[in-house]
Amino acid sequence: MTSDTQFPVPVTARPSGPLSGAARVPGDKSISHRALIFGGVAVGTTTVSGLLEGEDVLRTAAAMRQFGANVERGENGVWRITGCGVGALREPDEVLDMGNSGTAARLLMGLVASAPFTTFFMGDASLHKRPMGRVRVPLEEMGAKIISRSGGRFPLAITGQSLIPIDYELPVASAQVKSAILLAALDTPGITRVREGKRTRDHTENMLRHFGAEITVTENADGGRSIAYRGQQELTAADIIVPGDPSSAAFLAVAATILPGSDVTLSNIGLNPLRDGLFITLREMGANIEILNLREQAGERVGDLRIRASTLHGIEVPPERAPSMIDEYPVLFIAAAFAKGRTTMRGLHELRVKESDRLSAMAAGLKACGVAFEELEDGLIIDADGTPPKGGGVIETHLDHRIAMSFLILGLATQTPVTIDDGRVMETSFPGFVEMINALGATVTRGRGA
């Protein structure tokens, strides 16, 4: 499945037998973006193995080259990045096209906020709808000059300035916003502080430490965190091994859980405690997921997952768990459609501003496939009786990779096939998804199903 065609590529998942065997999912998307960005501003040469070579991350690689970093892929798949040093970015010659990637867009907005030139950003139709005001507000408070479409949306231009540090409380639980501020702080004198009421993924903090910077993280009694960074520290190149993406593993884990008789092992999966909410939730629903070889690798927790099929039951998912599994709700909705009983998932406002409005996109697809649910402003309640849903829908994916893959997983276990309108977007985060799941025993093919 490649995206080198101008036209939509429908893809169909057919009811399949058990999945079995071992697989290695592509590298973590969040860590891959950050490896390129921090490698690109560190002094020296960073090697990165296991980098996700999906379209989103390649946008960040291209941008870092535009800023003057030397970014090369070796024949062995190991990437070498020679950084230009904090405060020494070069003015890009081109408009930076961030494609479908909110992470590339928001993190790089932070990075250029202190650079003494103007950077122009654009993206695809999905990215142009996404809220950027959440990044614009703190960056402007630090002194950056930003011109954008209404609501802070893309395309936009940032003229970097000598910034002043801020003490900023995140109004939404967003690791992208937190990271944008920390990236703006890299070349800002004094101490920049970000406070988060709910903990979000901490790959930026981990990577700053990995590159030799000092960063102070204080845990608050109410469950939040305060992160303080003194700007203008030098970052030193440090090699990185990117673990498999738990958000990609999620699709295979749900498939192996709902397809009777399955037994699948996924090796080298990132299990950062701020990312593992889906696996905890599936286990609470009755899934059989074993974690093996838990270890630490380049500042991140990593392990292997063995998933065996099991019957699921509905639960109430604690809303406060949402940040640790925010990208996994679409496929959790699929798991819930096979569970016996009611699964309630709330606290999910943020799903409305992802690559698509994931609550309404999932609701439309679930309806087309005969799943009973109630859509709430901030979540979904799914009622199921433990028998496979009807299936048969043709699903609109709205340029959203996670909607695409979620419905292909559904179609492996429904009574009739499920077709998605366009599979190309899966390349953003999971190149080789179709080939990998088929190698485990699934039947997913190009074209519309009969």
Contact yes or no for 233/259 (Cβ under 8 A): no
> Which residue, chain included where needed, has tokens 């291209």?
62
* Known active-site residue 276: no
Q: Which is nearer to ligand S3P, 176 or 268 (CB)?
A: 176
Within 10 Å of residue 162's Cβ, how many Cβ atoms? 11
Q: Which is nearer to ligand S3P, 110 or 231 (CB)?
A: 110
327, 378, 383, 400: the catalytic one is 327
Contact yes or no for 43/286 (Cβ under 8 A): no
List the one residue from 12, 16, 103, 267 that touches ligand S3P (CB under 6 A): 103
Q: Which is nearer to ligand S3P, 248 or 414 (CB)?
A: 248
User: Least separation, in Å, of the C-beta of 149 and ligand S3P?
Assistant: 19
Q: Round to whole Å and give the CA distance between 305 and 90.
A: 43
Within 10 Å of residue 214's Cβ, how many Cβ atoms? 10
CA distances from 336 to 91, 253, 414 (A): 48, 13, 13
CA distances from 405 to 13, 192, 210, 364 (A): 10, 39, 33, 15
Contact yes or no for 391/369 (Cβ under 8 A): yes
Residue 84 is which amino acid? C
Q: Which stretch binds ligand S3P (CB under 6 A): 42-50, 57-65, 175-183, 433-441?
A: 175-183
In 3-state terms the chain splits into helix, strand, coil percentages (rounded to 5) of 35, 25, 40
Contact yes or no for 414/391 (Cβ under 8 A): yes
Q: Which stretch binds ligand S3P (CB under 6 A): 168-176, 277-285, 337-345, 417-425?
A: 168-176
Q: Round to whole Å and give the CA distance between 384 and 369.
A: 13
User: Least separation, in Å, of the C-beta of 101 and ligand S3P?
Assistant: 9
List the one residue from 175, 182, 256, 412 that touches ligand S3P (CB under 6 A): 175
User: Least separation, in Å, of the C-beta of 358 and ligand S3P?
Assistant: 10
Please, which of residues 10-39 interact with ligand S3P by CB under 6 A? Answer: 30
User: Least separation, in Å, of the C-beta of 331 and ligand S3P?
Assistant: 13
Q: Round to whole Å and give the CA distance between 300 and 85.
A: 24
Q: How many residues does the chain have?
A: 450
User: Least separation, in Å, of the C-beta of 374 and ligand S3P?
Assistant: 24
Q: Round to whole Å and give the CA distance between 246 and 252.
A: 10
Question: Does 326 contact ligand S3P by CB under 6 A?
Answer: yes
Number of residues forming the site for ligand S3P (CB under 6 A): 10
Q: Which stretch binds ligand S3P (CB under 6 A): 170-178, 219-227, 328-336, 392-400?
A: 170-178
From residue 125 to residue 164, the character string flagging contacts with ligand S3P as x (rule: CB under 6 A) and all else as - is: ----------------------------------------
Question: Does 327 contact ligand S3P by CB under 6 A?
Answer: yes
Q: Which stretch binds ligand S3P (CB under 6 A): 136-144, 171-179, 377-385, 418-426?
A: 171-179
Q: Which stretch binds ligand S3P (CB under 6 A): 66-74, 172-180, 226-234, 270-278?
A: 172-180
* Encoded tokens for 410: 């559904």
User: Least separation, in Å, of the C-beta of 4 and ligand S3P?
Assistant: 24
Q: Which is nearer to ligand S3P, 112 or 175 (CB)?
A: 175
DSSP secondary structure, 314-339, as one string: --EEPGGGGGGGGGGHHHHHHHHHTS
List the one residue from 12, 179, 206, 343 that touches ligand S3P (CB under 6 A): 179
User: Least separation, in Å, of the C-beta of 27 and ligand S3P?
Assistant: 13
Please, which of residues 334-363 interact with ligand S3P by CB under 6 A? Answer: 350
Q: Which is nearer to ligand S3P, 328 or 396 (CB)?
A: 328
Q: What angle do CA 134, 137, 141 make, to 5 degrees?
A: 150
Angle, helices 102-112/55-66, rounded to nearest 10 degrees? 20
Side-chain-facing half-sphere of 391: CA atoms under 13 Å: 24
Instruction: Give the footprint of ligand S3P on this chain (CB under 6 A).
Output: 30, 103, 174-176, 179, 201, 326-327, 350
Active site residues: 327
